[in-house]
Amino acid sequence: MASVYELFYWPTLQGRGELIRLALEEAGVDYIDVARLPVERGGGIPALMRILRSETDVHPPFAPPILKVDGMLVAQTANILMFLGARHGLVPEDESSRLWANQLQLTLSDVVAEVHDTHHPIATSLYYEDQKAEALRRTTLFLDARLPKLLGYFERILSKNTGSAGRHLVGDELSYVDLSAFQLIAGLRYAFPRAMKRIEPDIDGLVSLHDVVAARPRIAAYLASERRLPFNQDGLFRHSAELDLP
């Protein structure tokens, strides 16, 4: 019998959990997005809290996303993706390619963390409204110099990957890193549409990759379904008019 995956993540936002959802969807496996079930059916935030506060789990995670499968808990986004990628053909099989995929995913995780911190330069525990001045200063520098540099790196990797005709980041087929790159572009477009309008002409490979991923049958079906939560102001890709700098 195939394993059933249980994903534990905040039920009302995409966040880092979305990188896991995209991999599960592309893999075409059965999974339960546990915290999106009603509380009466064992879901909601209480399901998440039970895992985070569990005294019985041998390997308690620090934070979601968390994947439960075969009695095992796996956390940390890049770690979950490495695990799912190996199990479901979303990464090449050789050691060198797997290290490379993980390396790129960790760099992508760093970008995601920097995007998050545009709204939370002082502390995640504070509301954005309590750190707006610092957020404006951080975001200005991020959009001016840092984001073009980071996206330019991935664009360079894509253009060097001639075996895939520049269509994939790792090897010559789709990998979980491509799925995350799709989400990064989609999220940045939501959060910073004006800056992305400026930057996109310089990253046409990544823009094509975004479109290639969006058009894959399972991903297209997912994006059109109710399983895909909309971007919103609680997620890590937030849109604030005052931070939407050109």
Residues that bind its own copies (CB under 8 A): 58-63, 72, 74-76, 78-79, 82-83, 96, 99-100, 102-103, 106-107, 113, 117, 121-123, 125-126, 134, 137-138, 141-142, 145-146, 150, 153, 156-157, 160
Question: Is 96 or 225 the residue whose CB approaches its own copies more closely?
Answer: 96
Question: Is 144 or 211 the residue whose CB approaches its own copies more closely?
Answer: 144
What φ, ψ does residue 38 adopt, rounded to 5°?
A: -65, 155
Q: Residues with Cβ < 8 Å from 164, sequence gap 6 or more?
A: 171, 172, 173
Give least dist CB 143 to its own copies, A.
Answer: 11
Question: Is 36 or 167 the residue whose CB approaches its own copies more closely?
Answer: 167
Question: Is 6 or 134 the residue whose CB approaches its own copies more closely?
Answer: 134
Q: Are 167 and 175 a contacting pair, CB within 8 Å?
A: no
Residue 121: both structure tokens together:
């330069």
Q: What is the DSSP string of 147-200?
A: HHHHHHHHHHHHHH-GGGTTS-SSTTS--HHHHHHHHHHHHHHHH-HHHHHHHG
Q: Which residue, 205, 194, 109, is CA-closest to 155?
A: 205
Give least dist CB 34 to its own copies, A.
Answer: 19
Give least dist CB 65 to its own copies, A.
Answer: 11
Q: Which residue, 213, 206, 211, 172, is CA-closest to 19?
A: 213
Give least dist CB 103 to its own copies, A.
Answer: 5
Q: Residues with Cβ < 8 Å from 90, sequence gap 6 or more?
A: 23, 26, 27, 81, 84, 174, 175, 176, 179
Give least dist CB 214 to its own copies, A.
Answer: 25
Question: Is 138 or 210 the residue whose CB approaches its own copies more closely?
Answer: 138
Question: Is 103 or 208 the residue whose CB approaches its own copies more closely?
Answer: 103
Give least dist CB 92 to its own copies, A.
Answer: 13
